[in-house]
Amino acid sequence: MENHKVVVVPCSGIGKSLGTVGRVATYKVIERMKPKETRTVCLALLTMGDADALKLVRENPCIAVDGCPAQCSKKNIEASMGKLAHIIIVTDVLRKNRSLKPEGVIELNDQGDKLAEIIAKELSKKADEILHKET
């Protein structure tokens, strides 16, 4: 079988700390936890119909990381006919970790970073599950 990578696609969430949490969680996974097994793509490229971005999400399993229930990443992956394998919504994870109060847009506070770390661990575990299912 071809060597697939899991494509982690955070929403753009500009100006919202929960969007930043999703992006920070994504970087933690693709740069530190699972650099060989995962990669990301710019959501705006998908929206614009960029050929390379479309090919990537159509040929590899994708995880959408959305800041809120509007689920912009999930909807864009679906509209691009990408292989949506899993969805994580930051507000759902926050509901299970009510003591954390994420703040900050450009730079997260410590609690926001903790939430991003929790999401990154979930992403990492899910990426393993998806890749193991494929083999």
Q: Which residues bind ligand SF4 (CB under 6 A)?
A: 11-13, 16, 18-19, 66-68, 70-72
Residue among 84 and 131 whose Cβ is closer to ligand SF4:
84
CB of 48 to ligand SF4, least distance (A): 16
Cβ neighbours for 81, distance < 8 A, ≥ 6 positions apart:
54, 58
CB of 65 to ligand SF4, least distance (A): 9
CB of 36 to ligand SF4, least distance (A): 27
DSSP assignment of 8-64 equals EEE---TT-HHHHHHHHHHHIIIIII-TTTEEE--HHHHHHT-HHHHHHHHHSEEEE
Residue among 16 and 83 whose Cβ is closer to ligand SF4:
16
d(CA 130, CA 8): 12
Residue among 72 and 77 whose Cβ is closer to ligand SF4:
72
Residue among 71 and 111 whose Cβ is closer to ligand SF4:
71
Q: Which residue is nearest to ligand SF4 (CB)?
A: 67
CB of 94 to ligand SF4, least distance (A): 12
In terms of phi and psi (left: phi > 0; alpha: psi -120 to 50; beta: otherwise), the region of 89 is: beta
